[in-house]
Amino acid sequence: MTESLILGLTNLIADAARVLTAPAVVQKLSKDFFWYSPILKKQLESKVGDIVVQPVNVDEVLAVARFAILNKIPITLRGAGTGNYGQCIPLQGGIILDLSLMDKLESITPDGVAICQPGLRLAALETEAVQQGWELRMYPSTLAKASVGGFLGGGSGGIGSVTHGTLRDFDTVRAFEVVTLEAEPRVVLHEGPAVHEILHAWGTNGIITRIWFALTPAKQWSQFTAAFDTFDHAFLFSQQIAESADWSKRLVTVFEWPIPTFFTPVKQIVAKDKSLALIMIESSQLQRLTESAKAAGGEVTFSGPYTGPRTQPLLSDYTWNHTTLWAIKADPQWTYIQAGFSPTDCMNQFRLLRARFGDKILFHIEFMRNADGLTIPGAIPLVYYNGEEHMNELITYCREIGVFIANPHVNYLEDAGRFRADNIQLKAKHKYDPLGLLNPGKMISFHPEPQA
């Protein structure tokens, strides 16, 4: 790193303490949860930025953008760094733009739209929203740490998605302002369908600096688990809860045995040899759910109120990609894939995968609603890592039998799922980042125009 880089950036930022150069700090802020994938771990371990800048307002973001263009320096955006595809790991060094200090909640409108900066933590937003009678429509299981901007840049859905779909659906992301990396950077407002140009583009085509994020009226929730003799029983019970509009739910998860054995802090929810259904249900329906689970042969292992992100035990800490974390803690050979099974053919797909891959794959289902209102058995199955070839064979086979895969073992948007078939993220990159300075290498179909 050159002195001129440090000096140039320090001159742009009101407080020099927000330009970070200590190698250990830069190293730490260059990383996320990429090590979930043994394949990415090998590829990305050595990648590191040159310097970290922590802006506190849009003027500082614009100033850094101008500086990067002038000096042709890459910028990698960072929220809280909880992504698990190596999304915010710089492949070509340069500036890490850490947006965590831009964390203000401006307001929540009377019709339930939060207006905030990108670094605002989701848990802080949820807590304030509940005070005002609203709650997040959906959030990742990393709620406590993850930022709103990082969720929009790299996440997709989570707790709440069984009712409200993903970030792409139902107009949840109403609008945002984005700083561009055009010859003269500017702030562009993206509203309605235009948000899809930038949403889930891994910070490759614009810097989100202000967000309009739709909430939903708050409800009283309860946490519930029931153990079933077989995975099929647990799955079929949960599927009807997830699909039926009669049930008001925030989370419907299924773990095949022995996944629950990985959840060491909550042994009380685990029943030996049994698969587990984990549900967040509106409290007024808890009694009915208990009776329904028993009638379906389930053994209720936990039932209690949810009182916010500090609830103990917080059962969402075992769902979505936290499940993988508990598995890795138990045995580092476990890793995962991100999948979507067919709502009508899933039992057959489960059987085919079991027949071919045996207990090297364990089913972990997260039900989600899609944009057409259909309930999909989304899934983050655990895979016992047996080399890259085995992983690729599994992914290819999944796709052959109609299982959607967002491949978490690649570090570029196109194969990691949710790259838009209409290419609007790529078109936006050409428009807003023609030099390809934003998170270079993560959108591989982009090739910058040759410079004169």
Ligand X SMILES: Cc1cc2nc3c(=O)[nH]c(=O)nc-3n(C[C@H](O)[C@H](O)[C@H](O)COP(=O)(O)OP(=O)(O)OC[C@H]3O[C@@H](n4cnc5c(N)ncnc54)[C@H](O)[C@@H]3O)c2cc1C
Helix intervals (H) in 138-277: 148-154, 161-164, 231-243
Residue 305, preceding peptide bond in cis (omega within 30° of 0): no
**Contact letters for ligand X, residues 293-312 (x by CB under 6 A):** --------------------
Judged by CB, which is closer to ligand X: 90, or 260?
90
User: Residues 30, 54, 142, 223: which binds ligand X (CB under 6 A)?
Assistant: 142
Residue pair 83/150 in contact (Cβ under 8 Å)? The answer is yes
In terms of CB distance, is 275 or 324 closer to ligand X?
324
- Which is nearer to ligand X, 271 or 406 (by Cβ)? 406
φ, ψ of residue 168 to 5 degrees: the values are -75, -15
Between residues 77 and 286, which has the closer beta carbon with respect to ligand X? 77
Could you give the residue ranges of the DSSP H alpha helices within 252-387? 286-295, 320-330, 346-357
Residue of this chain nearest to ligand X (CB atom):
150
CB of 153 to ligand X, least distance (A): 2
Gap between the Cα atoms of 275 and 271, Å rounded: 8
Determine the interface stretch with ligand X among 51-59, 106-114, 315-323, 333-341 (rule: CB under 6 A).
315-323
8 Å CB contact between 447 and 415: no
Nearest residue to 429 via CA among 94, 204, 137, 191: 204
Residues 16-75 that bind ligand X (CB under 6 A): 32-33
| Number of shown-chain residues binding ligand X (CB under 6 A) | 38
Whether residue 258 has a cis bond before it, omega within 30° of 0 = yes
Go through 32-44 and write b for each residue having 16 or more CB atoms within 10 A of its CB, e for each that does not. bbbbbbbbbeebb
Q: Identify the residue among 95, 96, 207, 398 touching ligand X (CB under 6 A).
A: 207
Q: For residue 411, state whether it binds ligand X (rule: CB under 6 A).
A: no
| Residue placing its CB nearer to ligand X in the complex, 78 or 196 | 78
Under the binding rule (CB under 6 A), the answer on residue 316 touching ligand X is: no
Rg for the chain, CA atoms, rounded: 22
Identity at 147, one-letter amino acid code: S
Among 37, 156, 163, 239, binds ligand X (CB under 6 A): 156
The nearest distance, CB 159 to ligand X, in angstroms, is 7
Residue 255 as a binder of ligand X (CB under 6 A): the answer is no
Q: Please, what is the minimum distance in Å from the beta carbon of residue 366 to ligand X?
A: 8
Task: Establish how many alpha carbons lie within 13 A of residue 122's alpha carbon, considering only the half-sphere containing its beta carbon.
Answer: 28
Q: Is 349 in the site for ligand X (CB under 6 A)?
A: no
- The span from the CA of 190 to the CA of 166, in Å, is 19
Quick one: 158 or 185, whose CB is closer to ligand X?
Answer: 158
Q: Which is nearer to ligand X, 86 or 298 (CB)?
A: 86
Report the distance separating Cα 240 and Cα 295, nearest Å: 13
In sequence order, which ranges of 33-84 are alpha helices (DSSP H)? 38-44, 58-71
Considering only residues 81 to 120 of the shown chain, the ones binding ligand X according to CB under 6 A are 81-84, 87-88, 99, 118
Q: What is the rounded distance in angstroms from the CA atom of residue 103 to the CA atom of residue 205?
A: 21
Residue 413 to residue 404: CA distance in whole angstroms: 15
**Minimal distance, residue 356 CB to ligand X, in Å:** 27
Least distance between ligand X and beta carbon 86 (Å): 9
Q: Per rule CB under 6 A, is residue 337 in the interface with ligand X? A: no
Q: Is 154 in the site for ligand X (CB under 6 A)?
A: yes
- Compute CA 111 distance to the chain's CA centroid, rounded to the nearest angstrom: 26
Which positions lie near ligand X, rule CB under 6 A?
Answer: 32-33, 76-84, 87-88, 99, 118, 140-142, 146-147, 149-151, 153-158, 202-203, 207-208, 320-322, 325, 439
